[in-house]
Structure 1
Amino acid sequence: MPTPPNLQELFRTVYGAVYQCNRYNCYFVEFAGGISPFKVKDFLVLKQHVEAINVEAMVHDPSRASDVHVLMPYRSERCFVLTLTDVLHFQELLQGAKAMMSLNSLLQECLYAPAVF
């Protein structure tokens, strides 16, 4: 899928991508066949919720209810119905995107910090 206009790819895996939109100060998450916008704070909350999914419990619970996890992010029209493998792929995507956000912040600090002599 080509990068939508005005968006810069922040991180990509085989299963999705996260784009940064400086114009609207938000992130677009492409995953599971759709793309959804998130304000910075909502993106970080989404990451926390995905990280909080107990993968080990999903693996060890034999009930059918544990086969999927339904995630309904704040201020989003999107609902994610995630299988165990989807959860792992989503965690990888969001962890990578967060790492790139941290790296970008560090680079900005280094490049634009006032020189001290």
Structure 2
Amino acid sequence: MICPLASFEEVFKTEHGVVYQCSRKNCYWLDFQGEATPFKVRDFFQFKKTIDAMDVELMLCNSSRSFDFEILMPFRSERIFILSVEDILKMRELLAGAKFMIELNSEIKNCLQSKAILAI
């Protein structure tokens, strides 16, 4: 798929894309619109904030052609995303689900570690 030596775990998947975690390189891979894009952890969450901040209502209300798409090039990435309103909403769903699963996994690990300490 992306790198034959990496070990990927699926974080979250929708019918429009998938987010994978690579434990070997400590990064996330976003597979969206048929292309996979790597993100360092911090950059992944910054990308989510950028997507969440896009003004979909303004895009829908403005009839100017310049509001039909958002062009986005994430930090430390060679990929350019050209997103319609529909794409932005699909991306938001995917990134929100991935963030939730990442936070849930972290919380579960914290609970298990604190129980292990109490058992000692």
**TM-score w.r.t. structure 2 length?**
0.91
1:55-77 residue CA offsets vs partner (Å, 9 max, x unmatched): 11111111111110001100001
* Aligned alpha-carbon RMSD (Å): 1.6
Q: Which residue of structure 2 lines up, in the alignment, with residue 82 of structure 1? A: 83
CA shift at 1:116, angstroms? 7.2
**TM-score w.r.t. structure 1 length?**
0.93
For residue 115 of structure 1, the aligned residue among 91, 99, 118 is 118
Listed as ranges, the gaps of 5+ residues in structure 2 are none
Counterpart-to-counterpart distance in 2, 1:31 and 1:110: 33
Amino acid across the alignment from 1:109: N
1:35-83 residue CA offsets vs partner (Å, 9 max, x unmatched): 0110000001100100010011111111111110001100001100001
- Report SS of the residue matched to 2:25: coil
Aligned residues: 115
Q: Which runs of 4+ in 1 moved over 2 A?
A: none
Q: Which residue of structure 2 lines up, in the alignment, with residue 60 of structure 1? A: 61
CA shift at 1:32, angstroms? 1.1
Q: Which residue of structure 2 lines up, in the alignment, with residue 24 of structure 1? A: 25
Amino acid across the alignment from 2:80: C
